[in-house]
A = this chain, B = another copy of it.
Amino acid sequence: MTTSERTINFTRGVPADEAFPAPELADCVTAVLRERRVQVLQYGPSAGFLPLREWVAAHHGVAVDQVLLGNGSLPFIDLLGWALLERGDSVLVESPTYDRTLTLLRRHGARVAGVPITGEGLDLDALEAAVRRVRPRLLYTIPDFQNPSGATATLANRRRVAELAAEHGFWILEDAPYRPLRYRGAEVRSLHELIPARTLHMSSFTKQISPGVRVGYLIGDARLVARLAKAAEDTYITPNLLGEAAVYEFCHRGLLEPQLERLRTLYRPRLEAACAAMRRCLPDAAWIEPDGGFFLSLTLSAGVRAEDLRARAAAAKLNLTDGRGFFPEPADGDRFLRLPFCALTPEEIGDGVQRLAEVVATLARRG
């Protein structure tokens, strides 16, 4: 066991505290409150602060009426539950997937089925079989640096997903909050670029600027965006214009790209530390090596249950998340571990993986 007394948390996937551009945001809020006082402070459109919608539209090469802003991107899934899904509709998700999406889909009565994910994206044979079996209304997927696995879908994989959507007429909900945070390799075309007519592309400024501003966006078919905007109006009238205005001004001033470059410079060594520690401490582990984002994941050997491991890890001051919550069938996550690496220093990451390896070794010896 390392001698460090500090608890290490491989738990929530949050940005590093040191990454927040607070003085720049203060300047941006001040400017936009001076220059667009009423537009920021009065009730506004439920689709969000128009200058930011325009900025996002230009950034993604779509029309303004294809852009919906919201209080983060998670709430769009709730809005889809009202505007698109009927109770009992089938929805396909990756297995594992983002746990909060599972919760929201089930809240709306969706029948959720999981499709295994590999290091190259969705298991295509399993996807095709599931599509034929459940006739999904929607496929929810995180193609870039997936939460929780860290996997990125290859271009060939995405092309096949797009073909299936076209052939079988389901919607693709592409959740892409980590996409700008690539630390190595070349960007892969998004599903929205491959099949814009069937794809709802979600992202947010949570990982790029700050969670606290609560600004996410969705891009897609203008008619569906209008229906979502109506559901948004029914739910909260207007999203938080102060945060959207701050983000708009930040982007308008050209501060986003330098901010992303700072984040990549901050997070790249953390990813490298995580990968190096995995190779050094857990050379036999089954894990996915990510090219960006927040997460690395591993699957423990048969016979070692993550639940036992978590209890022992906690005793060694290492906090791990219950992996079962990420799986549509929780039992599939018995041996799954997600390691978020962005909010830890390289040293903490190395210590954490070493503690993990030591606990795994103890359990394996007893097993």
By a beta-carbon cutoff of 8 Å, the part of chain A in contact with chain B is 12, 14-15, 17, 20, 22-23, 25-26, 29-30, 33-34, 37-38, 40-44, 71-72, 74-75, 78, 82, 100, 103-104, 107, 210-214, 234-243, 245-246
Q: Which of B17, B44, B212, B213 contacts A212 (CB 8 A)?
A: B44
Q: Is the interface of A mostly helix, strand, loop or mixed?
A: helix
> Residue of B at shortest CB range from A38?
B17
Given A17-B38, A20-B37, A211-B241, 16 other A-B residues pairs in contact with their CB atoms under 8 A = A14-B42, A14-B43, A25-B33, A26-B29, A26-B30, A26-B34, A41-B211, A41-B212, A41-B213, A71-B71, A74-B236, A75-B236, A104-B234, A211-B238, A242-B242, A242-B246
Contact between chains at A74 and B237 (CB < 8 Å): yes
Q: Which of B14, B100, B236, B240 contacts A243 (CB 8 A)?
A: B240
B residues near A245, Cβ cutoff 8 Å: 212
B residues near A212, Cβ cutoff 8 Å: 40-44, 238, 240-242, 245
> Residue of B at shortest CB range from A28?
B29
Q: Which of B15, B29, B44, B75 contacts A29 (CB 8 A)?
A: B29
Contact between chains at A41 and B210 (CB < 8 Å): yes
Within the complex, what minimum Cβ distance (angstroms) separates A103 from chain B? 5
B residues near A100, Cβ cutoff 8 Å: 234, 237
B residues near A211, Cβ cutoff 8 Å: 41-44, 237-238, 241
Contact between chains at A237 and B72 (CB < 8 Å): yes
Q: Which of B29, B103, B214 contacts A241 (CB 8 A)?
A: B214
B residues near A239, Cβ cutoff 8 Å: 71, 214
B residues near A72, Cβ cutoff 8 Å: 236-238
> Residue of B at shortest CB range from A104?
B234
Report if A26-B20 is in contact (Cβ < 8 Å); known contacts: A42-B212, A100-B237, A104-B235: no
